Amino acid sequence: MAIEIERKFLVKGDSWRSLGTGKVYKQGYILTQNKITTVRARIVGDRGYLTLKGKIKGLARSEFEYPIPKEDAQIILETLCDSPLIEKIRYSISLNNLVWEVDEFTGDNQGLILAEVELNDENQYLKLPDWIGEEVTHDLKYYNVNLCQHPYKLW
């Protein structure tokens, strides 16, 4: 089983911008009856993905991601996902043998910038860059699936 161990932070300042290049992401979510399992469709460039995520336990949860044709992902986003969709530019930044993913949201979540980092272990030491602000790992309103239902512009 694939396990994702992730921490999430607000970003402060702009010093991170020169450290990575961005890619446009468009993604949506299909609500599940149990509201614990997450089903996501995503387009990144010319690629589509379908992802299933399980219940969060501490910092970890199961995650299964599969490539699908971009055309299929587009149809899923247009016909099966709740709106608004998540639109963002994701910057990948390599620091201290880790990859930080900084998401600069657009659309209904314009103005929100989050950074997340995947870890090998929940207790892994993490040196925070100076552009990292408050940790929001356990604040569910910052999870993309919740940003669809309660966009940042409405906070």
Q: Is-above-0.75 flag for pTM?
A: yes
Burial of 83 (0-12, 13-18, 19+ CB in 10 A): exposed
| Token representation of residue 43 | 């387009």
pLDDT at 35 over 80: no
Predicted local confidence at residue 1, as pLDDT: 58
Residues 6+ apart with CB under 8 A from 88: 24, 25, 103, 104, 105, 106, 109
Q: Would you list the DSSP string of 15-62?
A: GGGGG-EEEEEEEEEE--TTSSSEEEEEEETTEEEEEEE---BTTEEE
Ordered by start, the domain boundaries in the chain are 3-154
Q: What CATH number does the domain located at 3-154 have? A: 2.40.320.10
141 phi/psi in degrees, rounded to 5:
-65, -20
CB atoms within 10 A of CB 114: 21
What confidence tens digit (pLDDT) does each residue in 61-72 have?
Answer: 999 999 999 999
Mean pLDDT of 25-43: 91
Predicted local confidence at residue 116, as pLDDT: 97
Residues 6+ apart with CB under 8 A from 33: none
What confidence tens digit (pLDDT) does each residue in 140-151 have?
Answer: 999 999 999 899
Active site residues: 29
